[in-house]
Amino acid sequence: MILFLVLSAALWAMGSLLGMPARARWLMIALLYVAFLLALVVLPEGVGLRRSIGGSFGEWLVLGGLAALVYGYRAVLGRIRRRAAPAAEKPKGDFAATELERYARHVILREIGGLGQKRLKQARVLVVGAGGLGSPALMYLAAAGAGTIGVIDSDVVENTNLQRQVIHSDERIGMPKVFSAKTAMTALNPYVEVRPYHRRFDAAIADELVAGYDIVLDGTDNFDTRYLVNAACVKAGVPLVSAAITQWEGQIGVFDPGAGGPCYRCVFPEAPAPGLVPACAEAGVVGPLPGVLGAMMAVECIKVITKAGEPLRGRLMIYDALYAEARVITAARRADCEVCGSGA
């Protein structure tokens, strides 16, 4: 067996010089072991090579079995350690040491600071839609350390999404968008809890789902869903950050009647006539535009949670990417609004 040990040591040293991972080096030694076993079976007694191998076939099998037991024990122990490590690194309520470093640029901001970052960690944010607007919003909220992020969407990732929906990837085509989003978000920040809901946002779940969150971001592309999200937010007393895009333009506002601002229905009392506002699939959209508006949604969400600055309550920002123009208009609350006013 001395020959086997010498050859194994040589293979290990050669693999180390070539920068091969330990698993690959162990695989080479395992192949050498198999070659020795075959030599014991094939070569007749008395052959010089067989004598140099040494030991009987049974002894070599015992050696291989012991090595397999040791390897299996180490693999199981490593898996247990990996599972235990995140639990120790993610304390409830407080920050792990690496989190303090991760969020350092927030903590030194006067408007956020340690208190604001703690509010972010304790916040529960629901994002409706994991498409063009939801993609950047979800990524930035995860990066910022929003503690619990729910995402609801019934679609799967398609090839046509990848021109603008940056949270998804080519290898995840066909995967439900909410699970694709969770994969990207937890890879970016393992300290956030992501709750995926692979289903439509409809009246059957709207009120109960929204009531479990502190703020909602709506990135959907149809008025029926926007009205439903708005009604659920008003009922639960939850602020709503809503944005919309088409071609080269986008708009965003914060709708929060509980803080004295209008709700979404105050500003848009009726849906436009069919065909008047075509969807992105019909009219097209420049790829980075949802990134701009989606990032703005994340900024407004962080401002509301941390109580920083002046969110877009009672105001609507309109952004024209084609001519690089932005303007903000005032949006007043309607006393006779059928959702938050006397018409409810």
Q: Considering only residues 144 and 86, tell me which one the structure prediction assigns the higher pLDDT.
A: 144
DSSP for 184-199 reads: HHHHH-TTSEEEEE-S
Range with the lowest mean pLDDT among 37-41, 84-88, 92-96, 301-305?
A: 84-88
User: Is the model's pLDDT at 85 over the cut of 60?
Assistant: no
pLDDT for residue 41: 66
Torsion (CA) 180, 162, 298, 241 in degrees, nearest 10: -90
Question: Is residue 54's pLDDT more than 70?
Answer: no
Residue 92 binned pLDDT confidence (cut-offs 50, 70, 90): very low
**82 pLDDT exceeds 50?**
yes
Cα separation, 294 vs 78, in Å, equals 40
What letter does residue 277 receive in the DSSP assignment?
S
Angstrom distance (rounded) from CA 329 to CA 110 = 28
CA–CA separation, 205 vs 228, rounded Å? 11
Q: For this structure, is 233 an active site residue? A: no
- Asked if the model's pLDDT at residue 317 lies above 90, the reply is yes
Q: Which residues, at least 6 apart from 250, have a Cβ–Cβ distance to it below 8 Å?
A: 243, 244, 289, 290, 292, 293, 318, 319, 321
Q: Which of 233, 263, 266, 280 is catalytic?
A: 280
Residue type, 68: A
Q: Which CATH architecture has domain 106-330?
A: 3-Layer(aba) Sandwich (3.40)
Q: Which tens digit of pLDDT belongs to each residue from 267-303? A: 999 888 776 666 666 678 999 999 999 999 999 999 9
Q: Which residues contact 243 (CB under 8 A, 6 or more apart)?
A: 133, 218, 219, 250, 251, 252, 253, 293, 294, 296, 297
The span from the CA of 102 to the CA of 331, in Å, is 37
Residue 215 has pLDDT above 90, yes or no: yes
Every domain of the chain and the residues it spans: 2-89, 106-330
Backbone φ and ψ for 176, nearest 5 degrees, come out as -55, 135
Sort 104 into a burial class: Cβ within 10 Å, 0-12 / 13-18 / 19+. exposed
CA distances from 283 to 2, 14, 219, 275, 291 (A): 74, 60, 17, 10, 18
